Amino acid sequence: MANVDAAFGYRPVGKVGSGVNNGGTTLYTIGDDYGTAIFKGDHVMQSGGYVIAGTASGATNLGVFNGCFYIDPTSKKPTWSNYYPADTNVTASGSISGSTNIDAYIYDDPYYLFEAQCDGTIAKTDIGKNTDSILGTSSTVNGLSVTEIDSGSEATTAARQVTIVGITKDPENDDASSANANWHIMWNEHVKFSSTGITGT
């Protein structure tokens, strides 16, 4: 049966070893006026002490974005958003005094398990291998990511972002013989785990 083609980024589904998953995030900061949008479910990195958007094959992964909070520079209102709008300047002239932070909530535990859709076909024999990300154009309407895992880069090579752990239990997306199946993954390259990655099996 064909899988439902509807990418949603990296969605947390548990912890390695069935550890307790409380859905917790850690508070980080996005630099004022940062020029790239970040969406719920996007993987992110860290640079100069700030959260930045992840890249398709970068090694210094921090975690997965779960929204942000800031004082909107136009409305002057406290704002929660599924996504960070590019070029948000909270310290612009006329902004509320002291509103200098854009708070980002990140699933940063390197032992989180995530579910992600594949952009093509990955075989069950690829479980244990590593792969990278495919970035897409996400929606500012719902603020959700469309990042997928790359069906063309799975390998035992250490230099890949995530490790394929298994296939989803979702009956609408569990057909490994068809494109766009959902897979469970964990970090292979992570700043709190191993930024050089571990060879896959």
DSSP 82-112: SSBPTT--TTSTTSPTT---EEEEEE--TTE
> Residue 118 is encoded by which pair of tokens?
């594949």
Instruction: Kindly report whether the global pTM for this prediction surpasses the value 0.95.
Output: no
CA distances in angstroms from 184 to 15, 33, 113, listed in the order given:
11, 34, 6
Burial of 101 (0-12, 13-18, 19+ CB in 10 A): middle
The pLDDT assigned to 155 comes to 95
Domain ranges within the chain, ordered by starting residue: 11-187
Q: Which residues of the chain have pLDDT under 50?
A: 97
The pLDDT assigned to 99 comes to 56
CA dihedral 152, 158, 163, 164 (to 10 degrees): 50
> Residue 68 is encoded by which pair of tokens?
């942000």
> Residue 153 is encoded by which pair of tokens?
């880069």
Distance of CA 104 to the CA centre of its chain: 13
CA proximity to 84, closest of 159, 14, 28: 28
Q: How many CB atoms lie within 10 A of CB 147?
A: 24
HSE-CB of 160 using CA atoms within 13 angstroms: 26
Q: How many CB atoms lie within 10 A of CB 125?
A: 9
d(CA 112, CA 128) in angstroms, rounded, equals: 16
The pLDDT assigned to 96 comes to 56
The pLDDT assigned to 124 comes to 96
Burial of 96 (0-12, 13-18, 19+ CB in 10 A): middle
State pLDDT tens for residues 35-70.
Answer: 999 999 999 999 999 999 999 999 999 999 999 999
d(CA 39, CA 78) in angstroms, rounded, equals: 19
d(CA 172, CA 49) in angstroms, rounded, equals: 40
